A and B are shown apart, each in its own frame.
Chain A
Amino acid sequence: NAGVMQNPRHLVRRRGQEARLRCSPMKGHSHVYWYRQLPEEGLKFMVYLQKENIIDESGMPKERFSAEFPKEGPSILRIQQVVRGDSAAYFCASSPPRGQAKNIQYFGAGTRLSVL
């Protein structure tokens, strides 16, 4: 997990509020991935971004969820009008540009979202 920083580690929101999850990739990594994990389940791909571009958002719910990775600053996963079913662990991972280093992906420690 070294290098990929996620914050906050824990986030509590009431139904209807917005949740913002942040991820800073490892130094030199320009690709960011977001995954959701429910208790006792595997990692579900949500979205894959490069700087200022969404490459693949096929795993992202069509409504209320959005992601960005601006030129400066961390990647943000935003969940609007949260519902109880959004409660999960959200993991961010980063990888270097293909061809510039070994194909590899490192994870952050995750943000655990609880919706009351």
Chain B
Amino acid sequence: GQQLNQSPQSMFIQEGEDVSMNCTSSSIFNTWLWYKQDPGEGPVLLIALYKAGELTSNGRLTAQFGITRKDSFLNISASIPSDVGIYFCAGQLATGNQFYFGTGTSLTVIP
């Protein structure tokens, strides 16, 4: 299956700081999704991206579909304690319906 490399694996930041994480693939994807998972819950969809270069925001979250179509980025501005959780990227190839998931970035926000 497709391998998505997500980095960093974990982050410890101070409240108010900005956060950046990324996801890279060896294949070209035509859809990128970003999810957040809280402990004991299922992943919740944050942002969906469909075009190379696309930049989409959801409140303090901004995600970008990389120009090469092999990567995607998620930024969180002015982090707050409730941003704590695990963030997953997911990509879909041009054909087929399966989504391939990154290994996750664990975010800890220190008040």
Residues of A in contact with B (beta carbons under 8 Å apart)? 1, 4, 6, 31, 33, 35, 42-43, 45, 48, 55-56, 58-59, 91, 93, 95, 98, 102-110, 112
Contact = CB atoms under 8 A, between A and B. Distances in A.
B1 A55 contact: no
Contacts of B7: none
Contacts of B103: 42
B108 interface: no
A47 B69 CA distance: 26
A107 B97 contact: no
Interface of B: 1, 30-31, 33, 35, 40-45, 48, 50, 88, 90, 92, 97-104
B1 A91 contact: no
Contacts, number: 62
Contacts of B42: 1, 4, 6, 91, 107-110
A103 to B, nearest CB: 4
Given A56-B98, A105-B99, A107-B35, A91 B43 contact: yes
Contacts of B104: 42
Interface of A, helix, strand, loop or mixed by DSSP:
strand
A1 B31 CA distance: 19
A107 B44 contact: yes
A102 B99 contact: no
